[in-house]
Structure formats: structure tokens, C-alpha cells
């Protein structure tokens, strides 16, 4: 992975009337990096992506893709990028193959080149068996994969994914993650937005937490979780009486939704907490049925960084998805 910034953002601002959506966003994404913008609805994620993909003109600051200024040279930027939005934008009445071939021709590929590129993408995204079915019959995960395949026809060096797995089942989400990893392994720079800490943890080399239109933290997912003190160990015993005895002995507090069998031990050092708890349980002849390390949730991270949970931020923030006709780039 090169250290050359493919996405370089400094002091980016954007308002709609009195609603300041972006309040000075700073980002730097290296070539070949998977970079995640993490935040609740209304944090400014989609507006940031819309600016970087030339759909919205910023009010202030600078944004460059591979050194090209987004506001000054939008047509040059569009040759370098692709965008997969929050909702799959495929033609439901055409087959998967027809969707890809049509978009290949619109991308100025010749007939033979369009067929070859279509075949390659169908295979890459595991859609060959469904190639001749109407896209309207595809599952949500298949439509998302087809949508992403379409966005990669021109093989752009920078790909933007706006909440690519929202609404997908776990299997489809895992498939999308595999696709994203493969793209990055081949040198594609990827900026994705997500509300899911798990997704950022699984995919991103680095994460920026966006809240109220401002980047409030940047680092790896582990860096962010290290700032949170909400981790805990949960230990389940074979009877409520044993769990009650463990609580009485000061090992922990009753665990939520454990049917009276579990205790919860808040800790920043799970290994030490487990070792001490097992030693005490053994000394008291308590039988441990299960042990789980519970990592901080998205709300835990946001509460630690902002003083409010993500759900509250979403309710309090302004709209993050407004694009007026005057703001859409030609």
C-alpha cells in the first residue's frame, strides 16, 4: 500500500440554509487503503461522499482525488472514481448480463470488449449462474453485487461505497466484505461509509469517526475500541444459585438477559479478569458453563467520544442526504 494520498480533504464545509452538515472535515486516504467513515445517520457521511464524487459543491475547504481538485475539475475526477450508493441502482427488467453490457457500452467499450468485461465481472462477483435472469428476481445481496460490478466496469482507481451492506443478511454482507477486500488487494483505494463498528473492524485499515459534521477521531478500529471502557466479560454458571453466590462474593454484577445464570465483569483486561474469576469460582466450587468477552458497541464508542450514544446523535443531527437540483454537478 502506497503512502501517496489518493483522497486528500482539508477543512471541508457544507451547509443547507442554516443547517451546517459539514463543519471542517479533514481526511487523508492512501493508495490501496480501505478507509471507513463511521457515524450515525445525520453525521455527514453521505454529504462527504457526495462532495468527493462531484455530486455536491462544497462551501469551503479543498478536496482532491489523486491530486485533482474535485470542485475545479469535476470531469477529470469522474474518470478516476466510481460510486455505489446506499440503494442498488440496477435495471430490474434487464438481466444481470444486459445491465453490465449496457453500462459497458455507455462507458465507450466496443461490443466485443463489453462482452468480455461483462463475463469477467459476472465471474468475479459470482453472478454467472444468474446472468440471464432478470435483476428484479435477484436477492438483495445479489443486486448489491451487481451494482458494485457495474461501478467497476471502467476499473477506477478510487471506489466510494456508501453504506454498502445496509439491509443485507449476514451471508450477503460477508460476501460483500470479500469483494471489497479483493478490490483493495489489487490496489484499489476504497472509502466506505457505515454505521456498523463491526463492518469497520472487519474491513478498514483505518477509521474516521464523524459526528455533527466533524471528524472527532481517526485510527484503526482497535484504536477506537481502546478508548472505550465499556468492555466486559460475561460468565455463565450452571444454576441461578451459583450466579447469585458469585455476585455476593463480588465477582461481578448480574448479566442482562442471562436467565439469572450469568454475571458481568467490566474490564479493560479480559484475560486477567477471566483468570481471576475462574480461580475464585474454582475456589468456591462454582461450575462455569460458558465465558464470553463482550466488546464495546457502536453506542459505547460514540458515548466515550462524544458524551452521547449514536442513536441520540442520529435523532439530533440534521439531514445528511439532501441534494438540491442546484447542487448537483452537471
CATH number of the domain bearing residue 189: 3.40.50.300
Query: 283 with 309, same domain?
Result: no
Query: 162 with 254, same domain?
Result: no
Structural domain includes residue 218: yes
Angle at 80 between CA 203 and CA 88, to 5 degrees: 55
Query: 192 with 285, same domain?
Result: no
pLDDT along the chain (330 residues), means of 10: 80 95 96 90 90 96 96 95 83 95 93 95 93 94 90 91 83 85 92 84 91 91 74 92 93 86 89 92 94 77 67 47 40
Q: CA nearest 148: which of 129, 125, 119?
A: 125
Structural domain includes residue 22: yes
Q: CA 20 → CA 16, 59, 162, 214, 323, distances in Å? A: 6, 10, 20, 10, 14
Structural domain includes residue 86: no
pLDDT score of 101: 96
pLDDT score of 328: 39
pLDDT score of 298: 57
pLDDT score of 133: 97
Residue ranges making up the domain that contains 59: 5-80+156-226+305-316
Query: 211 with 244, same domain?
Result: no
Query: 22 with 76, same domain?
Result: yes
Structural domain includes residue 206: yes
Please give the tally of structural domains in the chain.
2
Query: 162 with 211, same domain?
Result: yes
pLDDT score of 167: 77
Sheet holding 288-294, edge to edge: 253-254, 262-266, 232-237, 288-294
pLDDT score of 170: 85
Structural domain includes residue 250: yes
Structural domain includes residue 66: yes
pLDDT score of 308: 62
Structural domain includes residue 242: yes
Query: 162 with 290, same domain?
Result: no
Structure pTM? 0.74
Query: 221 with 244, same domain?
Result: no
Sheet holding 206-211, edge to edge: 81-84, 158-162, 189-194, 34-38, 206-211, 214-219
Query: 220 with 160, same domain?
Result: yes
Structural domain includes residue 76: yes
Amino acid at each position: 500500500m502506497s503512502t501517496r494520498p489518493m483522497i486528500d480533504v482539508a477543512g471541508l464545509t457544507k451547509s443547507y440554509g442554516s443547517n451546517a452538515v459539514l463543519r471542517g472535515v479533514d481526511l487523508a486516504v492512501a493508495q490501496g487503503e480501505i478507509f471507513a467513515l463511521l457515524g450515525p445517520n445525520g453525521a455527514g457521511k453521505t454529504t462527504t461522499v457526495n462532495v468527493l464524487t462531484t455530486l455536491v459543491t462544497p462551501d469551503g475547504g479543498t478536496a482532491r482525488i489523486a491530486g485533482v481538485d474535485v470542485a475545479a475539475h469535476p470531469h477529470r475526477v469522474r474518470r478516476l472514481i466510481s460510486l455505489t450508493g446506499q440503494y442498488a441502482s440496477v435495471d430490474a427488467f434487464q438481466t444481470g448480463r444486459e445491465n453490465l453490457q449496457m453500462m459497458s457500452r455507455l462507458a465507450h467499450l466496443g461490443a466485443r470488449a463489453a462482452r468480455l468485461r461483462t463475463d469477467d465481472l459476472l465471474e468475479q462477483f459470482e453472478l454467472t449462474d444468474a446472468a440471464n435472469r432478470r435483476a428484479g428476481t435477484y436477492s438483495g445481496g445479489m443486486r448489491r453485487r451487481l451494482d458494485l460490478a457495474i461501478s467497476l466496469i471502467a476499473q477506477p482507481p478510487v471506489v466510494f461505497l456508501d453504506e454498502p451492506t445496509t439491509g443485507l443478511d449476514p451471508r450477503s454482507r460477508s460476501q460483500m466484505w470479500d469483494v471489497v477486500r479483493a478490490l483493495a488487494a489489487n490496489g484499489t483505494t476504497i472509502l466506505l461509509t457505515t454505521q456498523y463498528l463491526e463492518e469497520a473492524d472487519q474491513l478498514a485499515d483505518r477509521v474516521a469517526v464523524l459526528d455533527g459534521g466533524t471528524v472527532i477521531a481517526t485510527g484503526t478500529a482497535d484504536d477506537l475500541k481502546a478508548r472505550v471502557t465499556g468492555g466486559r466479560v460475561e460468565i455463565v454458571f450452571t444454576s441461578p444459585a451459583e450466579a447469585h453466590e458469585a455476585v455476593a462474593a463480588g465477582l461481578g454484577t448480574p448479566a442482562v438477559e442471562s436467565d439469572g445464570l450469568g454475571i458481568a465483569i467490566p474490564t479493560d483486561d479480559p484475560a486477567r479478569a477471566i483468570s481471576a474469576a475462574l480461580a475464585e469460582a474454582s475456589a468456591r466450587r462454582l461450575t462455569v458453563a460458558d465465558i464470553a468477552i463482550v466488546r464495546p458497541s457502536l453506542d459505547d464508542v460514540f458515548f466515550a467520544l462524544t458524551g452521547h450514544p449514536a442513536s441520540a446523535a442520529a435523532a439530533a443531527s440534521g439531514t445528511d442526504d439532501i441534494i438540491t437540483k442546484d447542487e448537483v454537478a452537471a
